[in-house]
Structure 1
């Protein structure tokens, strides 16, 4: 059985000191122009001090066109470089491995950053206009350029955000992506942009740069069979260091009744993966659940809620096999003591009914 405390060796870049990574978490603490704020720096470096083997930023926009919501970190221009370099340096000083998540919002954007939202298909209700083939190819280049910027800032790696209904995930939507060019229609065409972004980032960055990909394998118009097939392709490709499967609940039954009988995690651990590492995220809130995931066959886990509630979740899991996150909701004072800044606290209080009381 794999211990959460055992190092994780990857094909590129440094080994992670343990099998627990901080999941990429929306926190709305960045400055309006996407530059790093002191609150965001404190939030992330505190988790690194708390023992996470890898610490990842929130979804960071790769271009103004992809800017999705207020308070979002940016990795789209030289104006972001100084703050990103400060963050990468601060994380490295703790002994953790650092990653920045690269994201484009597509039709999920707030809509007030650009005159129109770029999307795979036209949707007047979202003020979204179908991208031309050339525009899709330009987005692929934008992902690569953002990765180069992250690497120059000193990050150990980057994760491509292909999940949660953002642009890359939108292309995977079997219900709505009826494009007639090479990016729509068949599963291979809908998967194409993900493969191209991975290839472009890998080609543009150095041999020590770690590359991950986050996928949502169901919902968002993605049949589980498609999610499993794309995961299989990416695991077998040898181009990724790790695949991050965002399952919302690693232990639940799939959404589609025909796939009931196996937990979500079990639909992916049997896929051949070569040297690519497989991680899962979704309601992993205790040492027992970390062990359960690792014993099921994944290589690492990504911690979201647990990392919000406890900056030292990873250290506690290593020290105490009986550790479990504090019951929710918690007080605002608890959150502030865990380096949750005012903007993040407001977001958790307003958008989630089980985080903060009083």
Structure 2
């Protein structure tokens, strides 16, 4: 796969065509108003830098769909109409640079932060998280929270949303037999455990305009005791039903090799690229720091690459790849002053200090 293939347009089943195959991954950044989740000037600056940097789709950080689902300090909100004005500014910025806009919608579930207003809830009672199990009425309300968030994104002028089914948040908690001990139609079999995820997707598809793009993010951590074959089932169903427009695999490292039967020795990526996917696009993130990394992901069968840490190091990553086919983002660790020079806010830098090996303290 040639580097120039990264800059071929990508048409999805619905919505506008992407100008290239390098998309901005949804990145936690602690930048929004901590009291109300309204987008801040720091959010707008970050989005401006990434949109101007050439990312074809610019996605927000995980944005909580309910006030009590807050998971991070300074988390962007999409649970109130009060958020729409700030979100509209984000969508306008992205559009002005020729990009496609998406909000990642999320609820922390059992892993919210009570100290920041969150109320821990999960599929079942989870004493280790001080979380109680949701009632059926509350599950219905949760579905409506995701729909209302998507509708706000639509009202604000976004091209779509990404449903966050990864990293152990509420939808992944329902998928997980470790978290989900329910005995009703939301628990037990994998069909039941995946029910809420697909209901949320279908609800959003029914509520929003026909060309509204919907993505789904999955991560494959073993600590949630979800089998790799079960993740493959989710992907296969999503591809078959075509209610989503793209699947975003958060792999940690795109080169990961499966250790679980019956896939031992295969690349994790190949387990998903081998599936028939109709009109649904497939992409991956994880350790994509160079032009060759991104090209490899496409060579492996993906339609696009999600740029995460490389965008933090260099928001201009796509433009630099296009100009310099051998381009690599700066090597880790970097100094805080390096990050400031890229335009990263102090709030974002504070968050990046929590990432082991990203910032070298002795370089300051």
- Normalising to structure 1: TM-score of the pair? 0.97
- Structure 1 residue aligned with 2:245: 241
Q: 1:228 aligns with which of 227, 232, 253?
A: 232
How far apart are the structure 1 equivalents of 2:253 and 2:354?
A: 22
- Measured in 2, the distance between the counterparts of 1:132 and 1:262 equals 40
DSSP-derived class of the 1:330 partner: coil
Q: Trace 1:186-201 onto structure 2 (pairs within 5 A).
A: 186-201=189-204
Matched, 1:141 2:144: yes
Q: Which residue of 2 aligns with 1:30?
A: 32
Deviation of the 1:8 alpha carbon? 0.6
Deviations along 1:259-302, one digit per CA (max 9) or x if unpaired, are 33111111110001000000111111111111111011100010
Aligned to 1:9: 11
| Corresponding residue number in structure 2 for 1:119 | 122
2: CA distance, partners of 1:66 / 1:226: 26
Cα contact 1:241–1:276 (8 A) shared by 2: yes
Q: What's the offset of the Cα at 1:256?
A: 3.1
1:61 and 2:77 aligned: no
2:281 is the alignment partner of 1:277: yes
Q: Equivalences for 1:131-210 in 2 at 5 Å?
A: 131-210=134-213
- Report how far residue 217 of structure 1 moved: 3.1
Q: How far apart, in 2, do the equivalents of 1:4 and 1:199 lie?
A: 31
Contact 1:286 1:323 in 2 (8 A): yes
When residues 115 and 298 of structure 1 are mapped into structure 2, their CA distance, relative to the original with a 3 A threshold, is closer
Deviations 1:298-331 (A, max 9, x none): 0001011001001111112222221111111112
Q: Match for 1:289 among 284, 290, 293?
A: 293
Is 1:85 equivalent to 2:80 in the alignment? no
Q: Distance in 2 between matches of 1:115 and 1:46?
A: 31
Unaligned runs of at least 5 residues, structure 2: none
1:306-317 mapped onto 2 (5 Å cutoff):
306-317=310-321
Q: C-alpha separation between the residues in 2 aligned to 1:115 and 1:174?
A: 23
Where structure 1 has 5 or more consecutive residues not aligned to the other structure, the ranges are: none
In the alignment, which residue of structure 2 is the partner of 1:214?
A: 217
* Pairwise CA distance, 1:351: 3.7
Checking the alignment, whether the CA contact within 8 Å between 1:64 and 1:113 is kept in structure 2 is no
Number of aligned residue pairs: 358
Kept after mapping to 2: 8 A contact 1:174/1:223: no
User: Cα deviations across residues 242-270 of structure 1 (Å, max 9, x unaligned)?
Assistant: 01111111111125375331111111100
Q: Is the 8 A contact 1:218 1:255 kept in 2?
A: no
Cα separation, partners in 2 of 1:255 and 1:67, compared to 1, 3 Å: farther
Take 1:182 and 1:234, find their aligned partners in 2: how far apart are those partners? Answer: 20
Q: Match of 1:57, SS? A: strand
Q: Distance in 2 between matches of 1:188 and 1:313?
A: 40
1:130 counterpart = 2:133: yes
Residue by residue, what CA displacement relative to the aligned partner does 1:49-105 show, whole Å, maximum 9, x if unpaired? 000010000000001121112200000101111100111111111111110000000
Are the equivalent residues in 2 in contact too, given 1:21–1:52 (CA < 8 A)?
A: yes
> Does structure 2 retain, via aligned residues, the 8 Å contact 1:106–1:166?
yes
Pairwise CA RMSD of aligned residues?
1.4
1:253 aligned residue (252, 257, 263): 257
Structure 1 position 115, deviation (Å): 7.0
Task: Using the TM superposition, name which of 92-101 and 1-10 deviates more.
Answer: 1-10
